[in-house]
Structure 1
């Protein structure tokens, strides 16, 4: 990344709940996780993906902002777009000393409402083939809106010459520098 480029760590929308729970437990054993507690500004939406993304970013920021600090056994993605929403602020220190990413992907922002994720799916699937997210498709699992929206949003992004504006989706998309593909689900 260019000197001064701010980056964040988020959980891959394809991550299994057990991995997300383990990431939360690990990061919270080392850091103060009160922001994802019921009275904290990052508690809602109360999902493992959102909570894991927040604490994984805390860890990533605290331990040096290197790609390895966001790996979490291949469940982390380095975001080039701020995943903050509402009163939930994802901190970033910037100045990552690594090179500019050669490839980027688009995924849905953790914390996006189901209603907006469905709108993203509807929009994207009117422009690209979303059959891999249907029953029997390589990207059907995990069967949740954020996974399916991420796949569809990325396919739109990739087919529009990877323009930053093609990953905006009314503020619900994030550019990431790590391939979110998992198993047979290829982004």
Structure 2
């Protein structure tokens, strides 16, 4: 038994390493609008204990940056909106700001990016004219200190910057923003090799349009998806649709080479009576499924080869944030460091939760114990620990409305044996996954399926990698 457990452990490490190369990265926003949070040193330990190695701040607080020194955690810092006019007007201002807030701490504190402002033109355009000049000056200041190669510069935009987001392929920026700020900013990002920071919240879209948007679609749960009328691509979740709407808007301006990082996304565990969808179960579903999607899959339907970096909002519930109840309840953790709800945050947790350690999953994750790489090919298999009812429902959907090729698992056919629900569901899930070009969200089935990087082994049945 010990030998089998150890073999499985080695296989799990191999699988994790392989998937981490294909999947994206998860970080978390560390906001501090509260009077009851643990000290920064304890926050660093919390992040390390949770396996999180990326964090985004909303300022450059010296105590916080000092706490992150030599932690191995990458840090995104921010220049607040109120400093943009000074940063845009005077190069000497940004020189002094970079020396005091960046070079003093880097590289002991691994500052990987500076967010110049935050949602600058979301509610008012009074600071819009300062944004790109401020970004240019900060970049020039970094260059003087030879930090421009280490540290990227960008600015998070809200989806309210879009004039159109549906159909997804018709995504476009608001016309009054394009010439004064969007095009100059995208040009800056292209020139400096940076990326566009985007804050995207399916919660808001669902809460405002719950009569038109499926909750399962918003929460990454099993659903038939939405086919874009313009490009014909099928979207299995709302976040992918929001990201691709921004990509479409950039493409319309001929900036196809600029990538996106999602700097904020989350779901509140509490809300007011008019905040439809707010609640602990939905928050756990959204964030838990999002982590799994980012870490085990690549890209979006429009950009399938681009890995995603996503920062969850937020680390803690923040009791002094103004606004509706939801604003104070986005946290993954209470200030006591207790989890608000239990979700996986790392690839190892995702794989353990999906695979059912100690159950009949070991042959699926390897080829008779082999850890050989299979040239980047992936398959979709059933999770044996989700219950027969859920697995049968997902199998029925895949073979029915999903359009999977289930002929080989009929009685007397090549993949009928072994005649088990898990084996049949795995074949059907993989057929659906491959027929949909292994697109993100097509190997999920409400948590009943997951991606593997080795050919599944169920008897003599061969699982195809394409149709």
TM-score of the two chains, using structure 1 as the length reference:
0.52
- Gap change, CA 1:103 and 1:130, over 3 Å in 2: same
Cα deviation for residue 170 of structure 1 reads: 0.3
Cα distance in 2 for partners of 1:173, 1:64 equals 17
How much is the aligned-residue C-alpha RMSD, in angstroms?
3.3
C-alpha displacement of 1:62 = 5.6
Aligned to 1:132: 408
Q: CA deviation at 1:59?
A: 3.3
| Structure 1 residue runs of 4 or more that deviate by more than 4 Å after TM superposition | 98-101, 181-184
1:103 matched to 2:51? The reply is no
Alignment of 1:4-153 (within 5 A): 28=1, 30=2, 56=5, 59-61=7-9, 65-66=13-14, 82-84=351-353, 102-126=376-400, 127-153=403-429
The CA distance in 2 between the partners of 1:141 and 1:135, in whole Å, is: 8
Q: Deviations over 1:72-97 (max 9, x none)?
A: xxxxxxx9752416xx779xxxxxxx
Q: Which structure has the larger Rg?
A: 2
Q: Does the alignment pair 1:173 with 2:442?
A: no
Structure with more contact order per residue of length (Cα contacts < 8 Å, sep ≥ 6): 1
TM-superposition CA deviations, 1:14-55 (whole Å, max 9, x none) = xxxxxxxxxxxxxx1x26xxxxxxxxxxxxxxxxxxxxxxx6
Matched residue SS, 1:124: helix
Q: Distance in 2 between matches of 1:150 and 1:64?
A: 19
Please tell me whether the aligned partners of residues 443 and 449 of structure 2 are also in contact (alpha carbons under 8 angstroms).
yes
Cα distance, 1:152–1:100 mapped onto 2, change above 3 Å: closer
Query: Deviation of residue 174 (structure 1)?
Result: 1.1
CA distance in structure 1 between the partners assigned to 2:410 and 2:374 by the alignment: 34
Q: Distance in 1 between matches of 2:11 and 2:390?
A: 33
CA distance in 1, matches of 2:414, 2:462: 8
Contact 1:83 1:110 in 2 (8 A): no
Instruction: Show structure 1 runs of 5+ residues with no match.
Output: 1-27, 32-54, 68-78, 91-97
